[in-house]
Amino acid sequence: MQPIRAASVQFEHASGDKVANLAKIADFAERAAAQGVQLIAFPECCITGYWFLRRLSRKALIDLAEPVFEGPSSQALMTLAQRHQMTIGAGLVEIDDATLYNTYVVAMPDGTFQRHRKIHCFISEHLASGSEYTVFDTPQGCRAAVLTCYDNNIGENVRSVALQGAEILLAPHQTGGCNSPSPHCMGLVDPVLWDRRQQDPQAIEAEFKGPKGREWLMTWLPARAHDNGLFLLFSNGVGVDDDEIRTGNAMILDPYGRVLTETWKAADEMVIADLDPTLRDNCTGVRWIKTRRPELYQSLTLPTGRERDVRDVRFGKDT
């Protein structure tokens, strides 16, 4: 891995307005380039919008979706990547033949693309889950992976990409402020606090820093970086996402799970950090992976009978 300057962005997308959302991405990319950023992560489905997708018919989703990589949004990302000599990741709804996916597109300045189809997709019955890990080399001399939102909640996924040599994990999300089926996890943010964010920033920032946002993230997110010896770029939506308020908390973590930079502002925001590859030298997670005993882990690949569809688990329908 080579030293690299990375950025993570949180922004409030406009549901269904790809032109407006791509304009925000272009503005952030320009600002990032002016600060020497070489790798930038934008949120899950930030090009198309996210939470409103659950309300859309199959026809409406098809109308919103685009092919990847030849579609206009992918090409717009590539134009930015080549203009700014920057690797850029952002999410949208993809259509491939007749199948729809929650997809994260990575455009790289050498003219190549990568994509990650969310492997635990629950937002709509009309969107399929992907079935592949996404690990790739960037032109900046780093090996990166993508796991989208819920994908990161399953520890096996992060370990799998680490075993494939990932050094940096792009972790795009639309989370925080969720009406979670878990009784002690997250919870809704009062929209009035968001509406009054300029008059009373302390009130909404307290929510973002509390158990509905940062406190919940800190119960598990640092472990994903630490246990696998990865830098982690957490990018998230912020503000209105249909009928919920996303909590932002864009941050970059080092391979020890320490926060290098973060924000809890109730606004569109970017955080930037220089990733020092020497931090991975003999770090805890790298050492632990070296001492694995794979012969003991065969049970991890066997069904237990307790597996459930992610949609049922996420929406509290699991019995």
- Residue 101: helix, strand or coil by DSSP? strand
Confidence at 316, pLDDT banded by 50, 70, 90: low
Whether the pLDDT of residue 318 is over 80: the answer is: no
Structural domains of the chain, with CATH: 4-314 (3.60.110.10)
Q: Rounding to the nearest 10 degrees, give the CA dihedral for residues 178, 181, 183, 189.
A: 20
Q: Kindly state the DSSP code that residue 161 receives in the 8-state scheme.
A: H
Of 55-69, 86-100, 118-132, 297-311, the range with the lowest mean pLDDT is: 297-311
* Residue 84 backbone phi and psi in degrees, to 5: -105, 0
Digit-coded pLDDT (tens) for 57-83: 999 999 999 999 999 999 999 999 999
Scored b (16 or more CB within 10 A) or e, 256-273 reads ebebbbbbbbbebbbbbb
Per the structure block, which two tokens stand in for 103? 């997809």
Task: List 6's β-bridge partners, or say none.
Answer: 39, 273
Scored b (16 or more CB within 10 A) or e, 143-179 reads ebbbbbbbbbeeeebbbbbbeeebbbbbbbbbbbbbe
Whether the pLDDT of residue 122 is over 90: the answer is: yes
pTM: 0.96
CB atoms within 10 A of CB 128: 16
Whether the pLDDT of residue 126 is over 60: the answer is: yes
Cα angle 218, 226, 28; round to 5: 65
Residue showing tokens 């990018």: 235
Residue showing tokens 């792009």: 170
C-alpha radius of gyration, the chain, whole number? 19
Cα–Cα distance measured from residue 1 to residue 62, given in angstroms and rounded to the nearest whole number: 39
Question: Tell me, what's the pLDDT at 278?
Answer: 97
